[in-house]
């Protein structure tokens, strides 16, 4: 049995709806539109012909697994926080951060593998599009890592309390992170089936 | 007309008795904002200050853009005129020949046309219009203390400011700002060597617009969240003023369309910087083939116009909302067909995403596909006509006060009708292919989204000036401003239709080599003269605006127009938090004029026992 060892602050009201969380949802909508626009551009360009077909780097399968697991660990950390389990909260956050970095490294390895096969960014648009879609996703993930780093730092070296502010913060970062996971699966599936 | 009772409502009594106590002033952040000059007026998180920042930055850009238009109008109306007197301002943009006669350099003619378009569309009519009024009115009219995230709101303005600075910098480059048209089609925008402005000028243009999109998105996120989450007690969606409805839908349109533009810009940047071939293909420069293969410039057009068309509704919808509010208040009549107005705004917002390719009829698109876009384009006429009908019927049998905001609101409807009708012509591919890139198009969009949106903006500025600055603008100067502007605007853009029908192409530096266009020389001169008149009228407005901020007649009454919306229930200068005590509670829709024998009933007045809030 894990002991509940995080203290409650007065304003703690559990996982309640907050305007800032809604702001994040809307932000996700606009990111989704960015990728929707690029994916449409991909489809339009591909149908015009002169399109290079190449297999995706094998390591993308492992990076996909990594990001799915990182999403799960973040969900685990969030649940632990709401229940007041400090240890698993800390571990979950830290694991998520590590897995996020691992994902980025794998993406980088994937790009170098592609590049060595002769598929550079400035060659056939098929390659350029792949780099743009995966690269923009990675950029968004780096932004998420910065936010995670702040929370990890607080959880390990700061004073952990149950506060409404922290719940909202965790919610916001969780939605963002899960969104990036789903976005990656969609991108990977799209690139895999629409080559 | 039934006799009405002019009552003054004791706002403070209603707020004290009926108001909703959100314990705002008990929290520590209630007073956090009363700090130094810098955090009050510069890095302010107060939506009212941010709105004024947007407005004044927008005005500065409006004058820069309008000044450019005067210079290129001089070139078009009087191509032989000696422009050497402009050299102190424009420097190397004016070429001086051996006889000492100065003329505008063609490269800079294109640069001015481009910057005029970019600045007016994005900086003035998007940031200056929806930025100003969404910020100012949304929290005040829904009864909120501030935006959902005042900090993001502040960032939104400062990103706009950054965009402004970068764009301004590009004006001082030796090679000039970007000159390939405000739509920035590749290859002119993608190849640094394409023309003078395509190098550094284009880099700065892109950077500036990316900052601008960040600003629009941060603002838009806030507007939507605020409307959904922070409405006061009793303020249901069907009790929102039409201004708030229009800002709300505008923000949603922006949220969905601007990211796609950024996607297009990212591909454009990569084409420029990393040598990709998204938009470029088979280009030869001086007989030398570039390495770009397989790109399509049409792809850029799709991505651009997917924003570009919704963008015109981002511009016109806030103006429509302001006009509805102003008309109803100054005609002392409930807005006719409130729900129809709301549904029309939503319908226009929805349809705006289905019509972008009507800007591309000559790009070689499938004529069968074009039919789809024609159909949806023409369907937009239906909600637009509903709105025009409702404005006119709002005036019908109203007690019309021809105040300055009312004049501008009526002017808006006039321009929206005249410009909207030519939209029906241009929405048809067969006519558009004939008229494409002629002055007919220029006349159409300037009237319907340029002048009309400006009239909406003026109506808003004159109407809410007392709320913004606690003083009135001068009404006589305002009326002179109105009449000069409406006459000048019609005299500038009306004749352009004839030019366009005769086939005079837009974006041309000179028509010297087209003998049959010489018949339009006088017409072009008339247009230029009235452009000057119109510009002078705006100087009058600027004088009135800034003079009145400091020396205008003071507002003595909290609710000078006897309007119903909540912003007039707050003290004239309420400070951060908008209401000094409790928040107002809403009992009715905002257009209860002439109801049950009383001239007006503000939204915070409870219903009488036998009264129902039906509309």
How does B4-36 read in b/e, with b if 16+ C-beta sit within 10 Å?
Answer: beeeebebeebbeebbeebebeeeeeeeebeee
As separate numbers, helices (DSSP H) first and strands (DSSP E) second, chain B gives 19, 6
Look at residue B30 in the predicted model and tell me its pLDDT: 46
DSSP reduced 3-state for B95 = strand
Look at residue A11 in the predicted model and tell me its pLDDT: 52
The mean predicted confidence, pLDDT, of chain B is 91
Look at residue A15 in the predicted model and tell me its pLDDT: 47
CA distances to A72, A155, B185 from B268, in Å: 37, 42, 10
Is B262 in contact with A34 (Cβ distance < 8 A)? yes
pLDDT in tens, B387-422: 999 999 999 989 999 999 999 999 999 999 999 999
Residue B78's Cβ-side half-sphere holds a number of Cα atoms within 13 Å equal to 14
User: How many percent of chain A have pLDDT more than 70?
Assistant: 91
Is the pLDDT at B2 greater than 80, yes or no?
no
Is the pLDDT at A34 greater than 70, yes or no?
yes
Is the pLDDT at B36 greater than 80, yes or no?
no
Is the pLDDT at B525 greater than 80, yes or no?
yes
How far off is chain A from B281, nearest CA to CA, in Å?
11
**Least CA distance to A135: which residue of chain B?**
B266
Q: How confident is the model at residue B1 (pLDDT cuts 50, 70, 90)?
A: very low
User: How many percent of chain B have pLDDT more than 90?
Assistant: 73
* Alpha-carbon torsion (B527, B528, B530, B531), positive or negative: positive
Find all residues with CB under 8 Å of B559, minimum gap 6, and list them: B9, B11, B568, B569, B602
Residue B423's Cβ-side half-sphere holds a number of Cα atoms within 13 Å equal to 24
Is B225 in contact with A128 (Cβ distance < 8 A)? no
Query: Which residues in chain B have their CB less than 8 angstroms from residue A125's CB?
Result: 276-278, 294-295
Q: For residue A149, what are the β-bridge partners? A: none
Query: Which B residues in the span 263-322 are in contact with A, Cβ-Cβ below 8 Å?
Result: 263-264, 266-267, 270, 274-278, 291, 293-296, 299, 302-303, 306
pLDDT in tens, B162-204: 999 999 999 999 888 999 999 999 989 999 888 888 889 999 9
DSSP reduced 3-state for B346 = helix
Q: State the Cα–Cα distance between residues B94 and B571, nearest whole angstrom.
A: 52
User: To 5 degrees, how large is the angle CA A59–CA A61–CA A63?
Assistant: 70
Q: For residue B232, what are the β-bridge partners? A: none
Q: Are B18 and B579 in contact (CB under 8 A)?
A: no
Q: How confident is the model at residue A185 (pLDDT cuts 50, 70, 90)?
A: very high
pLDDT in tens, A62-114: 999 999 999 999 999 999 999 988 899 999 999 999 999 999 999 999 999 99
> Cβ of B409: how many Cβ atoms within 10 Å?
32
Which of B229, B263, B274 comes nearest A38 by C-beta?
Answer: B263
> Cβ of B49: how many Cβ atoms within 10 Å?
21
**Least CA distance to B277: which residue of chain A?**
A125
Q: Is B578 left (phi over 0), alpha (psi -120 to 50) or beta?
A: left
How far off is chain B from A46, nearest CA to CA, in Å?
10
Q: State the Cα–Cα distance between residues B232 and B143, nearest whole angstrom.
A: 5
Q: Which of B98, B68, B114, B109 is nearest to B531 (CA)?
A: B68
The CATH H-level superfamily of A8-193 is: Cytochrome c oxidase, subunit III, four-helix bundle (1.20.120.80)
Q: Which of B391, B249, B255, B415 is nearest to B317 (CA)?
A: B249
Is the pLDDT at B35 greater than 70, yes or no?
no
Is the pLDDT at B247 greater than 90, yes or no?
yes
Query: Which residues in chain A have their CB less than 8 angstroms from residue B229's CB?
Result: 19, 22
Q: What is the mean pLDDT of residues B347-360?
A: 94
Pairing status of strand A7-8 against strand A161-162: parallel
Query: SS3 sequence, B281-304?
Result: CCCEECCEECCCCCCCHHHHHHHH
Flag whether residue A26 sits within 8 Å of chain B, measured between CB atoms: yes
Interface test with B, best of A40, A41, A123 (most B CBs within 10 A): A41
Query: SS3 sequence, B453-480?
Result: HHHHHHHHHHHHHHHHHCECCCHHHHHH
Query: Which residues in chain B have their CB less than 8 angstroms from residue A26's CB?
Result: 220-221, 224-225, 255
Q: How confident is the model at residue B345 (pLDDT cuts 50, 70, 90)?
A: very high
The mean predicted confidence, pLDDT, of chain A is 90
- pTM of the full predicted structure? 0.93
Q: How confident is the model at residue B100 (pLDDT cuts 50, 70, 90)?
A: confident
Q: How confident is the model at residue B366 (pLDDT cuts 50, 70, 90)?
A: confident
DSSP per-residue string spanning B24-92: GGGSGGGSTT---HIIIIIS---HHHHHHHHHHHHHHHHHHHHHHHHHHHHHHH-TTS--GGGHHHHGG
Is A128 in contact with B276 (Cβ distance < 8 A)? yes
Q: State the Cα–Cα distance between residues B184 and B162, nearest whole angstrom.
A: 20
Q: What is the mean pLDDT of residues B547-558?
A: 93
CATH of B11-283+299-600, one of 1.20.210.10, 3.30.70.330, 3.40.50.1970, 1.10.10.10: 1.20.210.10
Find all residues with CB under 8 Å of B359, minimum gap 6, and list them: B301, B305, B308, B309
């Amino acid at each position: 049995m894990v002991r509940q060892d995080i203290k409650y602050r007065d304003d703690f009201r559990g996982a309640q709806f907050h305007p800032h969380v809604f702001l994040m949802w809307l932000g996700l909508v606009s990111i989704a539109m960015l990728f929707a626009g690029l994916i449409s551009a991909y489809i339009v360009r591909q149908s015009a012909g002169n399109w290079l077909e190449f297999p995706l780097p094998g390591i993308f399968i492992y990076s996909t697994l990594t990001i799915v697991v990182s999403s799960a660990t973040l969900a685990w950390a969030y649940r632990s926080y709401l229940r007041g389990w400090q240890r698993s909260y800390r571990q979950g956050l830290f694991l998520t951060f590590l897995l996020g970095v691992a994902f980025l490294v794998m993406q980088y390895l994937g790009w170098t593998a592609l590049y060595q096969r002769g598929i550079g960014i400035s060659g056939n648009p098929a390659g350029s599009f792949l780099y743009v879609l995966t690269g923009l996703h990675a950029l968004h993930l780096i932004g998420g890592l910065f936010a995670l780093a702040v929370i990890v730092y607080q959880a390990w070296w700061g004073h952990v309390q149950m506060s409404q502010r922290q719940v909202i913060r965790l919610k916001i970062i969780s939605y963002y992170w899960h969104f990036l996971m789903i976005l990656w699966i969609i991108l990977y599936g799209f690139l895999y089936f629409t080559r | 007309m039934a006799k009405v009772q002019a009552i003054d409502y004791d706002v403070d009594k209603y707020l004290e008795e009926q108001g909703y106590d959100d314990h705002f002033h008990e929290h520590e952040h209630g007073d956090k904002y009363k700090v130094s000059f810098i955090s009050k007026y510069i890095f302010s998180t107060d939506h009212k200050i941010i709105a004024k920042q947007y407005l004044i930055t927008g005005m500065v850009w409006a004058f820069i853009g309008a000044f450019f238009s005067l210079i290129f109008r001089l070139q078009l109306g009087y191509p032989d005129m000696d422009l050497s007197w402009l050299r102190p301002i424009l420097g190397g943009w004016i070429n001086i020949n051996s006889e000492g006669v100065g003329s505008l350099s063609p490269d800079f003619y294109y640069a001015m046309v481009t910057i005029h378009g970019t600045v007016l569309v994005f900086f003035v009519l998007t940031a200056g219009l929806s930025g100003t009024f969404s910020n100012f009115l949304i929290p005040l009219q829904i009864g909120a203390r501030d935006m959902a995230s005042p900090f993001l709101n502040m960032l939104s303005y400062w990103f706009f400011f950054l965009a402004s600075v970068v764009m301004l910098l590009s004006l001082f480059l030796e090679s000039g700002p970007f000159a390939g048209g405000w739509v920035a089609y590749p290859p002119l925008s993608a190849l640094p060597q394409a023309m003078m402005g395509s190098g550094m000028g284009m880099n700065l243009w892109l950077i500036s617009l990316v900052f601008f999109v960040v600003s629009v998105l941060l603002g838009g996120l806030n507007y939507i969240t605020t409307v959904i989450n922070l409405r006061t007690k009793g303020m249901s969606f069907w009790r929102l003023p039409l201004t708030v409805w229009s800002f709300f839908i505008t923000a949603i349109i922006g949220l969905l369309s601007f990211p796609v533009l950024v996607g297009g810009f990212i591909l454009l940047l990569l084409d420029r910087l990393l040598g990709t071939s998204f938009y470029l293909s088979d280009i030869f420069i001086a007989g030398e083939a570039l390495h770009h293969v397989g790109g399509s410039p049409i792809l850029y057009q799709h991505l651009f116009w997917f924003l570009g068309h919704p963008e015109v509704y981002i511009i016109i919808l806030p103006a429509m909302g302001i006009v509805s509010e102003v008309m109803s208040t100054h005609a002392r009549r409930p807005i006719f067909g409130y729900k129809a107005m709301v549904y029309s705004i939503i319908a226009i917002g929805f349809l705006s995403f289905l019509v972008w390719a009507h800007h591309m009829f000559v790009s070689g698109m499938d004529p069968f596909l074009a039919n789809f876009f024609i159909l949806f384009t023409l369907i937009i006429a239906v909600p637009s006509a509903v709105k025009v009908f409702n404005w006119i019927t709002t005036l019908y049998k109203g007690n019309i006060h021809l105040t300055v905001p009312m004049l501008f609101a009526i002017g808006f409807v006039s321009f929206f009708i005249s410009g909207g009708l030519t939209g029906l012509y241009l929405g048809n591919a067969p006519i558009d292919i004939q008229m494409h890139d002629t002055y007919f198009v220029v006349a159409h969009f300037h009237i319907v989204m340029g002048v009309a949106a400006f009239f909406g903006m003026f109506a808003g500025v004159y109407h809410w000036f007392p709320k913004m600055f606690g003083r009135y603008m001068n009404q006589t100067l305002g009326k002179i401003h109105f009449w000069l502007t409406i006459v000048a605007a019609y005299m500038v853009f009306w004749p352009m239709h004839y030019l366009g029908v005769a086939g005079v192409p837009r974006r041309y530096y000179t028509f010297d080599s087209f003998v049959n266009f010489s018949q339009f020389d006088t017409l072009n001169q008339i247009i230029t003269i009235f452009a000057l008149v119109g510009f002078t009228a705006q100087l009058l407005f600027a004088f009135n605006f800034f003079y009145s901020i400091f020396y205008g007649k003071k507002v003595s009454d909290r609710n000078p127009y006897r309007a119903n919306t909540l912003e007039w229930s707050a003290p004239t200068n309420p400070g951060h938090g908008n209401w000094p005590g409790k928040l107002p509670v809403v009992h009715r829709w905002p257009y209860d004029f002439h109801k049950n024998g009383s001239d007006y009933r503000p939204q915070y007045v409870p219903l009488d026992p036998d009264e129902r809030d039906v509309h």
